[in-house]
Chain A
Amino acid sequence: MNVPPRALDYPDSFLDTVIPDESELTCGTKIEPGKSYGFFTDTTLCIGCKACEVACKEWNNLPADNLGLTGRSYDNTGDLGANTLRHVSFIEKIGHGEDRATEMAPFQSNWLMMSDVCKHCANAPCLEACPTGSIFRTEFDTVVVQQDICNGCGYCVPACPFGVVELSLDDGKAHKCTLCYDRLKGGLEPACAKACPTDSIQFGELNELFDRAGKRVEELHELGATDAYLYGAPDTPGATGGLRHLNAFFLLTDRPEVYNLPVAPTRASSRAAPSFLTGLAAMAGLTLAAAALMSNGRGRR
Chain B
Amino acid sequence: MNKRLGHETWDGETYYGQPSVKPSPFDWKVAAYVYVAGIAGSSQIIATMADRLGDRRDESIVRNGRAVALAGALIGAPLLIVDLKTPERFYNMLRIFRTTSPMSFGSYILTGFGLFSSLTAAGHFMGERRRDGSRSGMRRVADMMQVPAAFLGAGMSTYTAALLSSTSAPVWSAAPEALAVQFGTSAMATAAAALSLGERMSGDPENCRRLDALAAVAAAGELVAAGLAERCYRVLGVEGTLNTGTLGNTYKIGALAVGLGVPLACHAINALSNRPSRGLSVLGSLALLAGGAMMRQAIFKAGNKSAERPEDYFRLTEPRPGSTPRRRVDRDIAARTMGLI
Contact = CB atoms under 8 A, between A and B. Distances in A.
Chain A directly contacts chain B within the complex, with at least one CB pair under 8 Å: yes
Interface of A: 70, 72, 78-79, 89, 91, 125, 128-134, 149-155, 157-167, 169, 172-173, 226-227, 229, 234-237, 239-242, 253-255, 257-266, 268-269, 271-276, 278-280, 282-287, 289-291, 293-296, 298-299, 301
Interface of B: 2-5, 8, 10, 13-16, 18-26, 42, 45-46, 49-50, 52-55, 57-58, 61, 83-90, 92-93, 95-96, 98-104, 106-107, 133, 150, 154-155, 157-159, 161-163, 165-169, 172-173, 176-177, 179-181, 183-185, 188, 192, 210-211, 213-214, 217-218, 221, 225, 303-304, 307, 310, 313-314, 317-319, 327, 329-330, 332-334, 336-337
Given A149-B95, A268-B173, A301-B54, 14 more contacts: A72-B18, A131-B106, A237-B5, A240-B333, A242-B327, A264-B319, A268-B168, A271-B173, A275-B180, A276-B102, A279-B183, A291-B52, A293-B210, A298-B55
Most chain B CB within 10 A, of A134, A261, A283, A293, is at: A283
A282 B85 CA distance: 33
A133 B98 contact: yes
A295 B51 CA distance: 10
- The binding surface of chain B is classed by DSSP as helix
Contact of A152 (B8, B84, B225): B84
B84 A257 contact: no
Contacts of A226: 2, 4
Given A131-B93, A149-B89, A172-B85, A276 B2 contact: no
A80 B330 CA distance: 27
B24 A154 contact: yes
Contacts of B314: 257, 262-263
Contacts of B102: 272, 275-276
A275 B307 contact: no
Contacts of B159: 276, 279
A115 to B, nearest CB: 14
Contacts of A279: 157-159, 161-162, 180-181, 183-184
A108 B97 CA distance: 47
Given A158-B168, A286-B221, A293-B214, A131 B54 contact: no
27 contacts: A78-B18, A79-B18, A129-B101, A151-B93, A155-B101, A158-B21, A159-B167, A161-B21, A167-B85, A237-B5, A237-B333, A257-B20, A260-B14, A269-B100, A272-B101, A274-B177, A276-B158, A276-B159, A283-B157, A283-B184, A286-B45, A286-B221, A287-B154, A289-B214, A294-B210, A301-B55, A301-B133
Nearest to A132: B92
A253 to B, nearest CB: 8
Contacts, number: 310
A81 to B, nearest CB: 8
A286 B188 contact: yes
B333 A264 contact: yes
Contact of A133 (B95, B106, B210, B334): B95
Contacts of B319: 263-264
Contacts of A72: 16, 18
B154 A235 contact: no
A160 B329 contact: no
Given A227-B2, A257-B10, A272-B101, A235 B93 contact: no
A264 B318 contact: yes
Contacts of B22: 157-158, 160, 163-166
Given A283-B157, A295-B54, A125 B107 contact: no
A258 B16 CA distance: 9
> Can you list the 4 inter-chain pairs with the closest CB atoms, starting with the nearest?
A152-B85, A279-B158, A279-B180, A172-B85
A83 B24 CA distance: 17
A173 B25 CA distance: 12
Contacts of B96: 131-133
B188 A262 contact: no
B4 A227 contact: yes
B54 A294 contact: yes
B221 to A, nearest CB: 7
B198 to A, nearest CB: 15
A132 B95 contact: yes
A253 B4 CA distance: 8
A153 B166 contact: no
